[in-house]
Structure 1
Amino acid sequence: MLFSIEPKSRREDLYDFNHELEVLVKFLRGSRLTLVTGLRRTGKTSLMRVALNEADIDYIYLDVRFSVYTSYRDVLDLFVKALNDLLRRESSIIDKIINALKGIEGLKISLNPPEIAVKFRGKPRVSITDLLTRLNDVGELVVIAVDEAQELRKVNWLRFDRLFAYVFDNLTNIRLVLSGSQVGLLYSFLGLHDPKAPLFGRAYMEVKTRKLSPDESMDFLERGFNQLGINCPKDALERAVETFDGIIGWLTYFGYTYAMRGSADFDEIMKDAVQLALSELRNLVTLLRSSRYSVILRALARESMPWRLIKRRLEDYEGKEINAATISELLNNLVNLGIIEKVDDYYRISDPVYRLAAEYL
């Protein structure tokens, strides 16, 4: 169903990204490291899930978007859960995986049904590197897929960039695919172009998700409502196409909400969408720990602006001059987070609903 808000894993649920899908499947089979990048809500998770199923390669899928990793056990539990998901799927290499993992001290293996667990009391710490090395020793290709991989930068007691570099250099049967909507942070975290970083110079491929065109957006909505047998008024469809600017996640939100409410006023749906976006922006500003971000975003909610005008708005707000380097750092942080983008020397909020929500910060 096009308007499903659950992660997609079937080709028929992935709207018209056939080229991107074919390219990603090819990269999963042949590239040691693949990045899937794009704005929030442009279908990265759906694209990655469908490609993982179509590539006909065993994989473990790590969703690191919504958790806080305060200890090594949190991260290890994430890997163990992903391995158990692999064991529960129909796979010809289950027995090989079980045999490969045998002998890891601190790891408990059950055979019926196949499942692994970690013993923490009185046992040495199970090494994630050891788990991946044993997985590599199975002798079959396995994909390690990490959704919103830049979130792992917050785990400051485990260098995931070093772990990924070790996998790339030594574990030839493992493919890495990493997605990220905070593209600048993802690049910075991986350090692919930083001579001092562990992954510097490693070859990688990249697939970028995109916005839908107005015609594609209209077709997406019409097909979704037709699947549900719902007649959505033409003016509501046109407003949705114009307002959501090709962001498939917001188009899905509109279609799903309209369907669940049994037809609803467009303005009411928009009000709820803006409240959701506003909550996300407020959480972001809280994490960034500076009210200056709110000032910038409120200014950009009204219009795109060049650097000098943003500087003037901040200085007017604070009643004092602000160092130019500070302004650039604030803007670069928002760009790296995928909240704003720079187009022809003008800064703008990337997401159309975030743009509306920013006025209320």
Structure 2
Amino acid sequence: MSRLHLGKKGEKAHFFDQRPRKDASNLFGRDEEIEKLSRALESRSWVAVLGPRMVGKTSLAWAGANVFAGKNGYRVVFVDLRDTDTFRGATEKILGRLPKSTLDKLSKHISEVSASALGAGVAVKLKESTSARQALVDAFSTLKDTVLILDEVQNIQQGVPHFLKALGSIFNENDSLLIIFTGSYAGVVRKLFESTHEDPLFGRIPIEIRLSPWSEDVAENFLETGFERLGIGYTRGELREVIRRLGTLPGWLNLYGVRRYIERDHERALRTAMGVAVREAQKELEHLLEGRTPKARAVIKLLAFGATWGELLETGITKGALSHLLTILIDELFIVDKDESGVYYFSDPVYRKAAMGLSILGKDAQR
């Protein structure tokens, strides 16, 4: 069973931590995935870390990249793309995380460099006349012995073909630049895996590492280990209640652990964690339902209780729309499963509760 190895003074208070784990010794329950990612990088492969929100994709990318970098003299560059939906915007954000020496070589593409409002790297603005694709290719060609983590890359929707062509060029020309993509199986990631003979990345798809929620045993061991290290009293019934209500996604269990460490009260910590988790899940479901008919909303609410294909069609949704919606929920968000009897259901208790609480009409209709 994987455990954290905390030896430095003061580290025990951070056993439960909502920030990404950058050190493999601080990443619980993912030893096999760390080793697989490190081996993939050793083979000069690119990697796609896939999974639902709060499962620990960013932590695995950071920790695995640092293991490889430490052994091979590489540096790690991390780029958060969660709020970036265009290729041009992604290019500017990537450039803003690169070393100043690299930016100096790209002056012909850049109109402005300023302090970042987020405090990470700098804010870069491309010249209106410059090609984002060429700027990215020129930037990537200068990066030697680098592991680049593109976090939540699936959010890039506009300009994906140009992005893929830039990646294809770099894969061929710079074998010392290794890229880790994290996100769900959507957008850019889907295109990477579905490349055809005509695509620049054909035959060079990333190595896929799919993260699932922990098993109940690992989740319970995680909570137990943290409570024991932090000197927090607990009962077996409390552990079971946390897992039953929050599920086994590491992010939500970390949140509960943080609140339990601060509050020293199980009920209060669980109530707080559950409230935050359900609100975040409802936001994601509302985002998914934007622009869809009320029938799609009815499908989501039915899934909270479990329903067959035929029962879901009784909402009036078309077969094509239902198939597309289920594909997103199953293959991209990883929050719906189908049992042996053909019943589709929310596998995660937080999303199940969030779906139950969705308004029938939606936000727009309530205004």
- TM-score, normalising length: structure 2: 0.78
Q: In the alignment, is the contact (CA less than 8 A) between 2:92 and 2:126 conserved in 1?
A: no
**Residue 109 of structure 1: CA displacement?**
9.5
Partner Cα distance (2:262, 2:283) in 1: 22
Aligned-residue identity in percent: 25
Which among 98, 109, 120 is matched to residue 83 of structure 1? Answer: 98
Matched with 2:203 is: 201
Partner Cα distance (2:91, 2:262) in 1: 38
Counterpart AA for 1:145: I
Tell me, yes or no, if structure 1 residue 136 matches structure 2 residue 153. no
Secondary structure, aligned partner of 1:83: coil
Tell me, yes or no, if structure 1 residue 168 matches structure 2 residue 181. no
Q: In the alignment, is the contact (CA less than 8 A) between 1:60 and 1:143 conserved in 2?
A: yes
Structure 2, gaps ≥5 residues long: 1-13, 115-120, 359-367
**Residue 13 of structure 1: CA displacement?**
1.9
Matched with 1:9 is: 22
Change (3 A) 1:237 1:103: closer
Change (3 A) 1:109 1:285: closer
User: Pairwise mapping of residues 174-185 of structure 1 onto structure 2 (< 5 A)?
Assistant: 174-180=177-183, 182-185=184-187
Greater mean alpha carbon deviation, residues 46-55 or residues 182-191: 182-191
**Residue 264 of structure 1: CA displacement?**
4.2
Matched with 2:349 is: 352
Query: Which structure has more RCO (C-alpha within 8 Å, separation ≥ 6)?
Result: 1
Matched with 1:36 is: 49
Change (3 A) 1:40 1:109: closer
**Residue 217 of structure 1: CA displacement?**
1.1
Change (3 A) 1:185 1:346: farther
Change (3 A) 1:222 1:127: same
RMSD (Å), alpha carbons: 3.1
Change (3 A) 1:201 1:256: same
Aligned length: 330
Matched with 1:310 is: 312
Matched with 1:252 is: 254
Q: In the alignment, is the contact (CA less than 8 A) between 2:47 and 2:206 conserved in 1?
A: yes
Structure 1, gaps ≥5 residues long: 88-97, 316-321
Q: In the alignment, is the contact (CA less than 8 A) between 2:165 and 2:200 conserved in 1?
A: yes
**Residue 265 of structure 1: CA displacement?**
1.3
Counterpart AA for 2:18: I
- TM-score, normalising length: structure 1: 0.79
Change (3 A) 1:225 1:324: same
User: Pairwise mapping of residues 1-361 of structure 1 onto structure 2 (< 5 A)?
Assistant: 1-56=14-69, 57-65=74-82, 67-69=83-85, 72=88, 74-84=89-99, 98=101, 101-102=104-105, 104-107=107-110, 125=130, 127=132, 129-133=134-138, 135-137=140-142, 140-152=144-156, 154-156=157-159, 159-180=162-183, 182-185=184-187, 187-195=189-197, 197-265=199-267, 268-269=271-272, 270-286=274-290, 288-303=291-306, 305-312=307-314, 314-315=315-316, 322-338=317-333, 339-344=335-340, 345-361=342-358
Q: In the alignment, is the contact (CA less than 8 A) between 2:193 and 2:206 conserved in 1?
A: no
Secondary structure, aligned partner of 1:172: coil
**Residue 162 of structure 1: CA displacement?**
1.9
| Deviation string, structure 1 residues 311-331 (Cα, Å, up to 9, x no partner) | 12x13xxxxxx5433332332
Partner Cα distance (1:132, 1:350) in 2: 41
Change (3 A) 1:311 1:241: same
Q: In the alignment, is the contact (CA less than 8 A) between 1:214 and 1:246 conserved in 2?
A: yes
Secondary structure, aligned partner of 1:341: strand
**Residue 132 of structure 1: CA displacement?**
4.3
